[in-house]
Structure 1
Amino acid sequence: MYRRGLLALGCAAGLARPALAQSARARTLRVVPQADLANLDPIWTTAAVTLNHGYAIFDTLYALDDTLQPRPQMAAGHALSDDRRVWTIRLRPGLTFHDGEPVRARDCIASLLRWGKRDAYGQMLSRVTEKWEAVDDLTIRLALKKPFPLLLDALAKRANFPPFIMPERLALTEPTTQVTEMVGSGPYRFFKDEWSIGNRAAYARFDGYRPRDEASSFLAGGKRAHFDRVEWHTVPDASTASAALVRGEVDWLEQTMPDLNATFARSRDVRLEPIDNHGLLSFLRFNCQAAPFDNGRLRRAILGAIDQADYMQAVTGDAIRWQRCASMFPCGMPFSRELGSDLLSGPRDLGKVREAIRAAGYAGEKVVIMNPTDFPSIAPLGFVTADLLTRLGMKVDLQSMDWGTLVQRRASKAPVESGGWSIFHSWAGATTMMNPGLNDYVRGLGAGGYFGWHENATIEGLVERWVDAASDDERQQLVDAIQFEAWAAPPTIMLGQYYPTTALRSDLTGRLSTSMPLPWSIRRS
């Protein structure tokens, strides 16, 4: 049905007004996202598709450049007091929200206060904050109880609750309640009336956006929108999406399926590229507050059965590069060392693991694995885990659902008998989890943390010390200590690091190398 709809759209426009249809196509970027956009608020959910949607609409005070260093974005710059406890941030003049209202300091403060209730980095900042103050419409003053050396890194956080700026009237919404009116100051406006779950989303270039007068550099610099309109078309079937790209019915597949990459290689009109030079990490996430995985010994026992090759081959086949990574942080990143090698390497002895599971006290409780049917880079992971845990003698219930339902349901803390869950799988970009402030999957914040609600005061104390660390040697020691503590009773099991591909029409240039389909810089030649 989706394919017929695309063809009908193209034929009708072409027969009626060929020149106008061609012109409209040139000014519209049609993207097939990696999942359906079922939730709109990127401060309410960590779903990657909602994050990507957020970057089209919202902007941030600071942003990461190509070297992963924070640079002013909405901010013109800042000053820091001699005692390093007072930050004064000046906004760029002329910034405007999509509703026509100017961006003011109080909008930024309200947005950061909402973000600070939700985000792990933001919560650390909140604990040392004495006062936020809007000195005037363009000046923000932050007074701290003690220095917070990584403030700019926190304000430039790129994923899992980026500190997006929205109008004060929306930012006053509690972060546990979704904001559904999408008003930002970013390069594109969202068409709420065209949003159809399971079908599409649409955006229009915001003529009031003022890009920085400099070159684009990852998430920083001048965000120049070259398309009048961006459309996201949800196509769960990878073969249908791939065929639509080859025929020119869509312009860009955010992620490709490895077994279909040969199709693109045979087409002169399609270009295949690595999606992100730093890679993605697949992971298994436990519900640490509900039986049976509230038992840390049981989580540790299962490590002995995990073979990352089983998971990576299920996702990548033979067409995509991957590597084992026995670290709680992405391999290849500063301070990341493979301290879990002894646990994840060597022959997998399922007999010993069964004994360890019994010794840990597993009593036959049901293990509910939530698995998305419409997310090709995640769905195979659930089947691998379900098969493995069944062979280990656990009572497994693999429940299939769409990704939007999974994202909603993973927020439930109900027991499995009442709609709760035990395990889900996902992935994250390496740059979104490269240090303890960013890596929500290792943190121990409990009820205030990432889904699964792992609580570990030792880890949180080490993270606080890492923020204040005075040298790289001290930071390395603290990152190692965090890893050792996390491996003892893992809240998350890393399943391997891989380098998927994206595919786009050959006439598109300027795509930024990142796991997100950013709508700026890219243009049609």
Structure 2
Amino acid sequence: MKRRTLLGAAGAAALARPALTQPATARVLRFVPETNLIVLDPIVTTAAVTTMHGYAVFDTLYGVDEQLRPQPQMAEGARFSDDGKTCDILLREGLVFHDGERVLARDAVASLRRWSQRDSFGQALAAAVDAWEAPDDRTIRVRLKRPFPHLLRAIGKPHSSPAFIMPERMASTDAMRPITDMVGSGPLRFKADEYVSGSRIVYTRFEGYRPRDEAASWSAGGKRVHFDRVEWHVMPDHATAAAALRAGEVDWWETAQGDLVPALRRDRRLTVRPLNAFGLILGMRFNHATQPFSNPALRRAILAAVNQADYLQAVTGGDADSYRLCRAMFPCGLPGVNELGVDAMKQPPDLAQARAAVAAAGYRGEKVVLLHASDHPVIAPLGDITADLLRRLGMNVDQQTMDWGTVVQRRVSQEPVERGGWSIFHTTWPGSSVTNPAENLYIRGQGARGWFGWHDNPEAERLTAEWLATSDPGEAQRLLDAVQRSTLTSVPVVPLGQMLPNMAHRRELGGIVTASSPYFWSVRRQ
């Protein structure tokens, strides 16, 4: 059967943005995202805004509940063979894509195959897969070379490139090439004709969506949308976003800037609360493929020079209840996570020792290109702090200011800095997205196959493979600690601490699912 699409190319016949002062209706939800949506394909980027967009348009075979346990979503369930080497996943009846075509097992197989080429947890799964098969229209069969105890957790992971299911014709696209044709089977339809990057993104409720019967919990459960239309209004100026929220021109602001939170909390028409339960990890990412940070001794010197409090206070407005020091490569406070970086990251650091360490590492004045995202409410302050720190350490810093969307585009380059490359960028990741060695793509040591920065650490990869293969809790804990120790030596990223960002919304909104990403199901106007 020929598969078809009813959506045009993104941005075609884009309409002018309507005035925000028009009267709100109960059927329209107006949302201010943390930053602009530029990359639409949630498989080719880990940008949080694209993942949020992905959850609106697409669905997954499995999701996770608030305890991060995998739960069936598009699937009715899964059955493993006695030897653990075959997993059959059965699709629910009645699932359709936005273009009216049935969701078939071959769509899921193609989607899992493409996802597993890009995502770090997916790559670990793919290494154990002998074949992805669709023996009939509703059965996805995963034949394994060896048992993979974390299979359902991998395909149900909630953040940073979840395993979204797309039509086969889209999922057959080269995994390195972004798709722009947004046909999913999720609860919302992307309005390509109203997409204006930097201004407005629009979704409408998909009447053909079939929610599960149970209540929504994180990325699992019944995804019931109570609005006919969801509009994202991009507002890089934080004061403008706060004013629009207070005036009732928008309903929900994803991430309220720290210094504006006290005033928002005093407004009785608003509710301010943590965006998610596990917080955000702040990070400084090095480019390991080019000088000067191809030198691990220099990376260790920077790790020792960082004062996490400087970064955390800047992004939270000094609110001590909104952050914690976390000198670890995994989120502090999660079961099994030990803060093993305490010795490597003395707080406060000794800058004289750090300057000596930079010189001893062999740094000779090479240019450090720092990509600084000035429009991102959390990431923006980090660049200024790092630029100042590196200059105090005697380094030659070229701080290049741009919007976050441009950082996302620039960070794919492996060119030297003289030809448009980069040395450092800053980012954040939800604590729920890095709970184990396989899915923590920020510290994976996959080299050229890995995440931007291309950290190469064969020891960490070997330990991760052993973690994936064990079902013994004690051995898993030993391996988790060993991965941390290895990466605290190779320093793929400098952890800058853990924060609890606040979202703000009109008090009449209820049902917001507090999770790793804002979701648009369950939300209603009370």
TM-score range, shorter chain: over 0.9
CA offsets per residue over residues 64-103 of structure 1, 9 Å max, x none?
0111100110000111111110111100010000011000
Q: Distance in 2 between matches of 1:477 and 1:140?
A: 34
Partner secondary structure for residue 486 of structure 1: helix
> Which has the larger displacement, 311-320 or 238-247?
311-320
In structure 1, the residue matched to 2:394 is: 393
TM-superposed deviation, 1:317: 1.4
In structure 2, the residue matched to 1:232 is: 232
In structure 2, the residue matched to 1:363 is: 364
Structural mapping, 1:333-412, within 5 Å? 333-412=334-413
Is 1:70 the counterpart of 2:70? The answer is: yes
* Residue pair 2:159, 2:516 contacting (<8 A) in 1 also: no
CA offsets per residue over residues 279-306 of structure 1, 9 Å max, x none?
1110000001110000011101112211
Unaligned runs of 5+ in 2: 1-15
* Residue pair 1:6, 1:249 contacting (<8 A) in 2 also: no
Is 1:431 the counterpart of 2:442? The answer is: no
Q: Distance in 1 between matches of 2:341 and 2:483?
A: 12
Is 1:459 the counterpart of 2:460? The answer is: yes
Partner secondary structure for residue 222 of structure 1: coil
* Residue pair 2:159, 2:517 contacting (<8 A) in 1 also: no
TM-superposed deviation, 1:213: 1.0
Q: Distance in 2 between matches of 1:257 and 1:359?
A: 39
TM-superposed deviation, 1:8: 4.4
Is the alpha carbon distance of 1:351 and 1:214 closer, same or farther for their aligned partners in structure 2, counting shifts above 3 Å?
same
TM-superposed deviation, 1:358: 1.3
Partner secondary structure for residue 356 of structure 1: helix
Structural mapping, 1:312-323, within 5 Å? 312-319=312-319, 321-323=322-324
* Residue pair 2:288, 2:455 contacting (<8 A) in 1 also: yes
Structural mapping, 1:165-180, within 5 Å? 165-180=165-180
> Which has the larger displacement, 513-522 or 367-376?
513-522
In structure 2, the residue matched to 1:164 is: 164
Q: Distance in 2 between matches of 1:514 and 1:64?
A: 10
CA offsets per residue over residues 339-367 of structure 1, 9 Å max, x none?
00011124422121111111111111100
Q: Distance in 2 between matches of 1:489 and 1:141?
A: 38
TM-superposed deviation, 1:43: 0.6
State the TM-score, normalized to the length of structure 2.
0.95
Q: Distance in 2 between matches of 1:248 and 1:439?
A: 39
In structure 2, the residue matched to 1:254 is: 254
Amino acid at match of 1:415: P
> Which has the larger displacement, 314-323 or 303-312?
314-323
In structure 1, the residue matched to 2:329 is: 328
Q: Distance in 1 between matches of 2:58 and 2:378?
A: 27
* Residue pair 2:432, 2:516 contacting (<8 A) in 1 also: no
Higher helix share: 1
In structure 2, the residue matched to 1:209 is: 209
Is the alpha carbon distance of 1:251 and 1:9 closer, same or farther for their aligned partners in structure 2, counting shifts above 3 Å?
closer
Partner secondary structure for residue 201 of structure 1: strand
Amino acid at match of 2:214: E
> Which has the larger displacement, 351-360 or 164-173?
351-360
TM-superposed deviation, 1:470: 2.4
Amino acid at match of 2:473: D
Amino acid at match of 1:470: S
In structure 2, the residue matched to 1:473 is: 474
Q: Distance in 2 between matches of 1:480 and 1:305?
A: 23
TM-superposed deviation, 1:516: 1.7
Root-mean-square deviation over aligned CA pairs: 1.2
State the TM-score, normalized to the length of structure 1.
0.95
In structure 2, the residue matched to 1:18 is: none
CA offsets per residue over residues 370-393 of structure 1, 9 Å max, x none?
011110210100000000000000
Q: Which runs of 4+ in 1 moved over 4 A?
A: 5-9
TM-superposed deviation, 1:263: 2.3
Q: Distance in 2 between matches of 1:484 and 1:141?
A: 37
Partner secondary structure for residue 122 of structure 1: helix
Partner secondary structure for residue 343 of structure 1: coil
Structural mapping, 1:161-310, within 5 Å? 161-310=161-310
Percent sequence identity is 53
* Residue pair 2:307, 2:347 contacting (<8 A) in 1 also: no
Amino acid at match of 2:54: G
Q: Distance in 2 between matches of 1:505 and 1:45?
A: 31
The one of 10, 15, 19 equivalent to 2:21 is: 10
TM-superposed deviation, 1:461: 0.5
In structure 2, the residue matched to 1:28 is: 28
Is the alpha carbon distance of 1:107 and 1:151 closer, same or farther for their aligned partners in structure 2, counting shifts above 3 Å?
same
Q: Distance in 2 between matches of 1:470 and 1:236?
A: 46
Partner secondary structure for residue 466 of structure 1: helix
Q: Distance in 1 between matches of 2:53 and 2:91?
A: 24
Amino acid at match of 2:29: L
Amino acid at match of 2:218: F
Q: Distance in 2 between matches of 1:304 and 1:496?
A: 14
* Residue pair 1:508, 1:523 contacting (<8 A) in 2 also: yes
In structure 1, the residue matched to 2:487 is: 486
Partner secondary structure for residue 264 of structure 1: helix
